[in-house]
């Protein structure tokens, strides 16, 4: 079941949903979702340094870019980057979350997640956004702008397997590169 705005407020008060910094609910809460803002750290792929990405090998395929002073990031057509939410998000084991793009951002050609739109029970950390520009014009993205929305779903029972204990990206504070090389292929 998807949580309504009433339930989201209740779960925030009860600590089942944790958002820091606290959102302005008058601006960021909709009928069944909560908006998050874009952080100021990005990972840009080093196209000129690597000719291929090998998921079996741990390598530095990206470089970290940290924006300050209100500077925007230019996302060019066909470009894929990793971003981060400004907010740290935590959910208890009775919930999971879906990350959806904001319609206003999508209408510019920006997709905020490629495949990882699901947040498992027990997650706590900043959310990495898999940002692509599928349009034909470059788009400026500003840290602090509303970039995505969270849709909270209740589970039929609390999960026994918590992401906080098992997840590769648990507690992340920045946009981490893929850790697929840790998996046995």
Active site members: 130
Instruction: Name the β-bridge partners of 35.
Output: 149
Do the Cβ atoms of 147 and 105 come closer than 8 Å? yes
Tokens of 144: 């602090």
Nearest to 105 by CA among 71, 129, 70: 129
CA angle centred on 116, ends 125 and 110, rounded to 5°: 100
CA angle centred on 70, ends 150 and 36, rounded to 5°: 5
Tokens 């500003």 map to which residue? 142
Tokens of 103: 């319609």
Neighbours of 90 (CB within 10 A): 19
């Amino acid at each position: 079941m998807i949580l309504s705005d009433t339930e989201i407020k209740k779960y925030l008060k009860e600590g089942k949903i944790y958002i820091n910094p606290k959102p302005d609910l008058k601006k960021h809460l909709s009928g069944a979702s909560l908006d998050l803002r874009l952080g100021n750290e990005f990972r840009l792929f080093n196209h000129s340094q690597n000719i291929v990405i090998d998921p079996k090998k741990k390598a530095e395929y990206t470089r970290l870019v940290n924006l300050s002073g209100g500077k925007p990031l230019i996302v060019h057509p066909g470009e894929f980057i990793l971003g981060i939410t400004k907010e740290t998000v935590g959910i208890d084991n009775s919930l999971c979350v879906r990350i959806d793009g904001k319609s206003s951002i999508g209408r510019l050609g920006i997709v905020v997640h490629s495949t990882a739109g699901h947040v498992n029970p027990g997650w706590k950390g900043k959310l990495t956004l898999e940002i692509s520009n599928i349009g034909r014009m470059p788009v400026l993205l500003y840290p602090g702008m509303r970039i995505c929305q969270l849709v909270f779903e209740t589970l039929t029972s609390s999960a026994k397997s918590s992401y906080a204990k098992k997840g590769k990206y648990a507690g992340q504070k920045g946009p981490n590169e893929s850790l697929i090389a840790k998996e046995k292929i």
